[in-house]
Amino acid sequence: MTALSAQPIPAKPRDDAPRLQQQINSLAKTGGVLNLQQNDFYLGSPLILPRTGPLPTTAVQINGAGQFATNLRLLPSFPPNRAAIEWAPGAGNLYGCWGQKISNLTIWLANGVPGKAIWYQPASDGLASYANVSREWLQLDLENVRIECNNTDHEVLIDLGTGSRFCQWKNVTADPWPGPSPKFDTLLIRTATSYAGYNNLAPDDGVGFVCSHLSGIYPMLMRGGACRTFEGRLFQSTLEDSQDCGGRFGTGAIAYHLINSANSTVRNISCEPKGSQFLRIENSYNITADHIAGGCPGRKDGQTSIAVMGSQHVRLSNHTAILGEASFSQFGLSLMTIDGLCTDVAASDFDVTVLGGSSPAALASQQITIDPAATGCTASGWALQAWSPNKDTAGKIIPYRQAYVVGN
């Protein structure tokens, strides 16, 4: 497999980074938008956006002419372990970054160069306390942003060292190809999940996506690479309308990983599992997961689809199952596990595919594992499978479809 390239890098490409950085620095005096026309812009170094402090009056936004119309292409000489777009270090009263927006462009990471697309780094003591975290808050909107990358060099694409708040993300996509020696299940979005003194049982708005909405998030579109969508924290936020195409077998990849999250919703999300766990909800409370579909890996070295761990007041509903499709228990796996540290986790309209031979509840229990130490945790829905030996008067097989309830 070869890397997709809309236009090859010229033998002696220009480096547009100094010119673009000069324009950013000029705009930073009063704030404004760097409008990039339809063109390829080659970067030999990161574009550094300015800090604004608590007011967005000096924010510099970057707007292109559309995906594949405006291309930021990292040169082979781009410094390793840096990002195409970064922010200046905080200093004095200028720490936070408000009013930020990046839109309508494609970022091409360089083959052979480890790095990221967008990276917000707090100060070295930025996670030392709530006061320090609040000093570092970022407000970043993303819209129609695409990232081209590979599984050999690029581990994390958008890395937010604190998170982002009061933001809207729409149509944010990536398209990794494996690369010559794939070693990463490339992660599209990562946020911080805690800080020194953090209490995940308190209504804490310090880190992660806070009061935000993310939709149309797709970490792998066409080129067959391994991917993960999200690892981080949601607080009073929504992540919806997303499809993950899965990671490699045997790596422990997790497509959607909510950590220390609260008062948030994931909706209309799905995964072609491959080797990935579909959804993990860890040390979280007041979480709703609705209209979800995790598929089945079809191999014994796959993973449990959904894991709820150490969490409280979680609601999962409208899980899709398909008559005749493979069952997790066929491969020694579970559709869902709820560990003994969970309280009040309820799955409703949670359909499962089952193997034959017992009552609906017993069949569902082969797919759904609820630790006896868990408190008030249940699952209910329909047990489905096309193995049923029952036939109608015309001799046609009647697919098995029975209601089930399991739990403690």
Cβ atoms of 244 and 266 within 8 Å: the answer is: no
- 59 and 151 assigned to the same domain: yes
- Render pLDDT for 368-400 as a digit per residue (tens, 0 to 9): 999 999 999 999 998 887 555 567 788 776 677
Largest CA distance in the chain: 82
C-alpha Rg value of the chain to the nearest Å: 23
- 276 and 400 assigned to the same domain: no
Q: Is residue 371 part of a domain?
A: yes
If pLDDT is split at 50, 70 and 90, which confidence band does 326 have? confident
Amino acid 380: pLDDT: 95
- 343 and 282 assigned to the same domain: no
Does the pTM surpass 0.85? The reply is yes
- 125 and 247 assigned to the same domain: yes
What domain range includes position 289?
A: 17-294
3-state class percentages of the chain: helix first, strand second, coil last, to nearest 5 = 5, 45, 45
- Structurally, the chain folds into a number of domains equal to 2
Amino acid 325: pLDDT: 75
Q: Is residue 215 part of a domain?
A: yes
Amino acid 316: pLDDT: 97
| Nearest alpha carbon to residue 235 among 269, 259, 270, 267 | 259
Q: Is residue 308 part of a domain?
A: no
Among 245, 276, 294, which residue terminates a domain? 294
- 130 and 268 assigned to the same domain: yes
What are the E-state strand segments in 335-399? 336-338, 343-350, 352-353, 368-370, 378-385
- 329 and 250 assigned to the same domain: no
If pLDDT is split at 50, 70 and 90, which confidence band does 5 have? very low
- Render pLDDT for 38-93 as a digit per residue (tens, 0 to 9): 999 999 999 999 999 888 889 999 999 999 999 999 999 999 999 999 999 987 66
CA-CA distance, 220 to 257, in Å (whole number)? 17
Q: Is residue 221 part of a domain?
A: yes
- Render pLDDT for 165-223 as a digit per residue (tens, 0 to 9): 999 999 999 999 999 999 999 999 999 999 998 877 667 899 999 999 999 999 998 88
